[in-house]
A and B are shown apart, each in its own frame.
Chain A
Amino acid sequence: MKQNRIGQPMSRVEDARLTSGQGTYIDDLNPLPNIHHAAILRSPYPHARIKSIRTEKAQQMPGVKGVVTGQDIVEMTKPFPVGVTAPVKYYSLAVDKVRFVGEPVAVVVAKNRYLAEDALDAIEVEYEPLPAVVDIEKAMEPEAPILHEEVESNIANHRTFHYGDVNKAFMEADFVIKHKFFFPKYSATPVETYGVIAHYEACGNNLTIWSNFHGPFTLQSVMAAALQIPSNHLRIIIPKDVGGSYGIKSGVFPYMVLMGVVSKKIGLPVKWIEDRQEHLMASSSGTDRVTWIEAAVQKDGTVTGLKMKMVDNVGAYIRAPEPACLYRTHSNTTGPYRIQNLAMETVAVMTNKSPTGLIRGYGGPQLYFPLERIMHMIADKLDMDPAEVIRRNLIRAEEFPYKTASGGIYDSGDYLTAFEKALEMVDYQGFRERQEKAHQEGKYLGIGLACIVEPSGSNMGYITVALTPEERAKSLPKSGCAEGATVSIDPMGGISVRISTVPTGQGHETVAAQIVGEVLGVDPRSVKVIAEMDTLTSPWSVASGSYSSRFAPIGSSAVYHAALKVRQKLLEIAADQLKESIDNLDIESGKVFVRNNPEKQVSLKRLIGSAHWNPQGLPDGMEPGIHETAFYTIPTALPPDENDLVNGSATYGFVADAVTVEVDPDTGEVKILDYITVHDAGKLLNPLIVDGQIMGGLVHGLGGALYEELAYDSNGQFLTGSFMDYLCPTATEIPPVTIKHFSTPSPLTPLGAKGLGEGNTMSAPVVIANAVADALSPLGITIDSLPLSPNRIWSLIQEAHNQKQLKEELV
């Protein structure tokens, strides 16, 4: 039993069903008889006025039960609420205009999906094409096509921030180093696509929706508002098995509303399973971002101030939780560095690309790409070693808890030690020598470094930084990161745990069982964890869900506290029965015993039995039964203050990466020789799961660095609608990776744990870019955009050669 305690690599309880085909994902569910199937007609245009939609022919096709268009949606729903003041009307189907390729235009319901798709071809839509804009900077120009006339520009959100004395820092700087960076739009493409089953019951006005949605459950209120239905009449059920998400599936919520409306209008339960093309062109993705960054630097490499202007492309409609991508990392904008002077300008623009939303690392890859590139550029400019520039600026171990310029409270860490560990593991000095030698042989080797702070357990309050302090003052302050859990024991002693953390592959059932097993002194494998989420019966909060790596710091803490409540109750019953003080009792191996007289004991079974079968025998005033719920939040997750200071996350981990590459100058191919990553995620709850999470996050970041991009041509046509065009890393592209842990437990969470699955998604794009830039530095090449595909690298090399030739000719 000891081998399955908290912190031990217990193999997962989920695996037996998932390896035998007995998982139950959304498409496997048929919770009602007579379920019909929906198919969605989508816009082929990036921007066009809808002049007419004719559905008569489609209605008469075999097996078709009905068609729903934008007209129905306007009549039956309100636009989705969103946390900005720009008057953007976003509905679940296009109304009057389409604004991106793939935007839903009509829905057909038929007996099966084949027949529904047949009928799509019979719908006639007349479009009047309009000029489109997909480029961030062009979208902000005065003559740019406007997507939403009511907004009068394409800007959905715009804020500025000043922390410390930025002007002084820049005036006194020995150097100011600045650059502009482009970060691309990409996804995480879970192998299971979106799925929704909706069932509307007219009598009682009840809507039940099953979907592979994973929160945040703030969006339950967004959906209820759009549907104009009381929130307790909108029942959302999430199956216990979800086929991956990495944030992307929070974007299924418009389809949940859409299918709710479809079920209501057609009068049948309706199932919709997205196909891959739909997923790539219209589900959700990260933002593409342009960042202008400036660093105030002293001669010795110390960075004293930062200015950043970041512009996010949120696609055709800003939708919740955007523009949160701009603000998720607000508290850790200065990364792991002791920079107290910070100016920021944040802008969200709308263009004719698909709408964006949560994605693993949310905001982190976009932030650290310019920040960690500029640290390397500072080293270049000062002719210093980049390791030395990083070292000089890292927060010192004795400075924790460290308060950042923008209000973040880094709970614990020892960044220097972890960073030195990474340098040692990659044999930094040795590699520099190898690199020099290789260069003499005409080979391009490079080494990249990156240090990032990994926020986890998002504070609901950070999103309201999108509003000015004056705008915020008008409504209820938002804060906290609460999660609930219930532990109960049945009359025969069977322990069950109800969680609302909506796992999408992270093994929450296993870790919850480990925690409850340890607290109650039983074998974790005997604990049954129910991961299915149901908004009418689960203990949930507005912050519930699977995002911001919040299970380790928050979800697991709720489970721990619920288990402690049960433990306390069992000990109180035992104290009464054994006539002992509760302080002398301990719980282990299914028994409560007196610590210094273990012979004196009583079985858990008997204690549990008392609570169920003989409540009259319980201590005075004690409730019968064993069923305890606990809610947990972090006291430091406060609302933003009037100076826009906010602690956006519960805990902050640290990642130091060192990566070596070789670039083939003839083909432009980047080969990663070695990927070293040192992690501080506090106490690890299950190391087996931990390393799996890290590896998965890393490969997602690798995809962003080298392969993945949701590409559009300049007219707004979508170019990467299949897995032949949108390239995901496969097994043959994975480099050798070494993961090392270095733990400073969080003083804030009861188990000392921090979140950890997103760090390398944030660090991999920039650390690989740094390594490639280092490799190509003899050619004078600068890396400021991604992905680093062979054609892009090859073009950069050709350009460098041409310029060199031109210069020689001029001489």
Chain B
Amino acid sequence: MIKVSSREMVEVRMKINGQVYEERVEPRKLLSDFLREDCGLTGTHVGCEHGVCGACTVLVNGSAVRSCLMFAVQADGKEIMTVEGLAKNGQPHPLQEAFSQCHALQCGFCTPGILMSAVELLSTDSDLTTDEIKEMLSGHLCRCTGYKGIIEAIEKVANRQKEGEKTDGSGVTV
């Protein structure tokens, strides 16, 4: 456990979307504010600052985490992935495409957080049921869509992942 006084700046170093960031921050600075203000990664949104709405969700060492409930200093040395890191070599992630096809977003404010939780879910479970998708989504608030399109979009990618497994057996198509 590091000990610092409230005004003292602390050096943090973390890898975000494959790139190393080194910054000096106040110990009380939230990870969500750090990503947005210090790293310029404004794709991560802040909706409630008390860990209910899920809009600020990012992956920390592969796990979906609410970045408004974590200090930047706690992420020191960790690997972080935000919505900006989803597309690879200019190619959108299958979830990003499915969200558009299924009209899984309207205002888009909650979308980045949901995408990150969905990435984690798809990486941990290869045989998802609709109920499991809903259960994961219950940690996110979307006031635009009524969730229908979001469930369909995640199902679509999950099914493709399942079919991918059957054909090439690699288990990783996403």
Contact, CB under 8 Å: B103 / A21: no
* Residues of A close to B83: CB separation below 8 A: 19-21
Per-position 1/0 for A14-29, Cβ under 8 A of B: 1111111111110110
Which chain B residues lie closer than 8 Å to A23 at the CB level? 43, 108-109
A155 proximal to B (CB < 8 A): no
Report the Cα distance A507→B105, complex, angstroms.
10
Question: A21's contact among B49, B84, B106, by CB below 8 Å, is which?
Answer: B84
Chain B CB within 8 A of A623 CB: no
From B53, B101, B110, B145, give the contact of A695 (CB < 8 A). B145
Kindly state the separation between the CA atoms of A25 and B86 in the bound complex, as whole angstroms.
Answer: 20
Q: How far is the CA of A241 from the CA of B42 in the complex (A)?
A: 13
A464 surroundings in chain B (CB, below 8 A) = none
Chain A positions 191-221 with a Cβ under 8 Å from a chain B Cβ: 191-193
B67 at the interface (CB under 8 A from A): no
Are A507's CB and B106's CB within 8 A? yes
B105 interface neighbour in A18, A24, A723, Cβ under 8 Å: A18
Contact (Cβ within 8 A) B43 A190: no
Interface majority SS (helix, strand, loop, mixed), chain B: loop
Most buried by B among A19, A244, A507, A691: A19
Q: Which residue of A lies closest to B29 (CB)?
A: A114
Q: Are A241 and B108 in contact (CB under 8 A)?
A: yes
Given A189-B143, A192-B109, A723-B141, are A11 and B42 neighbors across the interface (CB < 8 Å)?
Answer: no
CB distance from A532 to the nearest CB of B (A): 15
Interface residue from A28, A243, A695 paired with B148 (Cβ < 8 Å) = A695
Q: Which residues of A contact B120 (CB under 8 A)?
A: none
Q: Verify B107–A244 contact, CB threshold 8 A.
A: yes
Q: Hey, which chain A residues are within 8 Å of B100, CB to CB?
A: 11-12, 15-16, 19
Among residues of A, the one whose C-beta sits closest to the C-beta of B107 is A505
State which residues 663-703 of A face B: CB under 8 Å.
Answer: 688-689, 691-693, 695-696, 698-700
Of B46, B50, B99, the residue contacting A15 (CB under 8 A) is: B99
Contacts A11-B103, A21-B43; A696 near B49 (Cβ below 8 A): no
Q: A586-634: which residues lie under 8 A (CB-CB) from chain B?
A: none
The interface residues of chain B lying within 8 Å CB-to-CB of A3 are: none
Given contacts A243-B45, A695-B146, contact A19 B52 (CB under 8 A): no
- Contacts A20-B96, A731-B137: A737 and B101 contacting too (C-beta < 8 A)? no
**Cα A117 to Cα B117 with chains together (Å):** 31
Q: Does B44 lie at the interface of the complex (its beta carbon under 8 Å from any beta carbon of A)?
A: yes
A793-B172 Cα distance, complex, nearest whole Å: 48
A704 to chain B, nearest CB (A): 12
Complex contact B146–A21 (CB within 8 A): no
Taking CB atoms and an 8 Å cut-off, the chain B residues in 88-139 that contact chain A are 92, 96, 99-101, 103, 105-112, 115, 133-135, 137-139
- The answer to the question of A504 belonging to the interface, with a C-beta cut-off of 8 Å to chain B, is yes
**Interface residue from B48, B103, B144 paired with A691 (Cβ < 8 Å):** B103
Question: What number of B residues sit within 8 Å (CB to CB) of A?
Answer: 55
Are the C-beta atoms of A190 and B107 separated by less than 8 Å?
yes
The reply to whether B105 and A15 contact each other, CB–CB distance below 8 Å, is yes
Task: Choose one: B36, B115, B144, B145; the contact of A19 (CB below 8 Å).
Answer: B115
User: Once the chains bind, are B140 and A243 in contact (CB under 8 Å)?
Assistant: no
Q: Is B155 an interface residue (CB 8 A)?
A: no
Contact B138 A27 (CB under 8 A): no
Q: Is B160's CB within 8 Å of the partner chain A?
A: no
Docked-complex contact B151 and A731, CB < 8 angstroms: yes
Given the known interface contacts A20-B84, A722-B50, A722-B52, the answer about A731 and B150 at a Cβ–Cβ threshold of 8 Å is: yes
Contact A246 B29 (CB under 8 A): no
Q: Known: A699-B146, A724-B52, A737-B148. Contact between A12 and B107, CB under 8 A?
A: no
User: Which residues of chain B have C-beta atoms less than 8 A from A14's C-beta?
Assistant: 108
Contact A21 B147 (CB under 8 A): no
Does A258 belong to the interface (CB within 8 Å)? Answer: no
Q: How far is the CB of A735 from chain B (nearest CB, A)?
A: 10
CB B174 to nearest CB in A, in angstroms, measures: 15
In the complex, the answer to whether A699 meets B147 with C-beta atoms within 8 Å is: yes
Query: A693 to chain B: closest CB distance in Å?
Result: 8
B142: CB under 8 A from chain A? yes
Chain A residues with Cβ below 8 Å from B26 are 114
Decide yes or no: A732 and B134 within 8 Å by CB, A21-B84, A691-B103, A692-B106 being known contacts: yes
Q: How far is the CA of A469 from the CA of B42 in the complex (A)?
A: 52
Q: Given contacts A19-B111, A276-B47, is CB(A244)–CB(B106) below 8 Å? A: yes
Q: How far is the CB of B117 from chain A (nearest CB, A)?
A: 11
Residue B24 CB within 8 A of the other chain: no
Contact residues of A with B, CB < 8 Å?
Answer: 11-12, 14-25, 27-28, 114, 188-193, 241-246, 275-276, 504-507, 688-689, 691-693, 695-696, 698-700, 722-724, 728, 730-732, 734, 737
* A to B CB contacts below 8 Å, 28 in the list: A16-B100, A19-B83, A19-B99, A21-B41, A23-B43, A27-B42, A190-B107, A191-B45, A191-B109, A192-B107, A241-B108, A243-B45, A244-B144, A275-B49, A505-B106, A688-B103, A691-B103, A695-B149, A696-B146, A699-B143, A699-B146, A723-B48, A728-B141, A730-B139, A730-B147, A732-B134, A734-B146, A737-B148
Q: A191-B47, A695-B148 are in contact. List 9 more A-B contacts (CB 8 A).
A: A19-B99, A19-B115, A20-B92, A25-B109, A114-B26, A191-B53, A505-B106, A696-B145, A731-B151
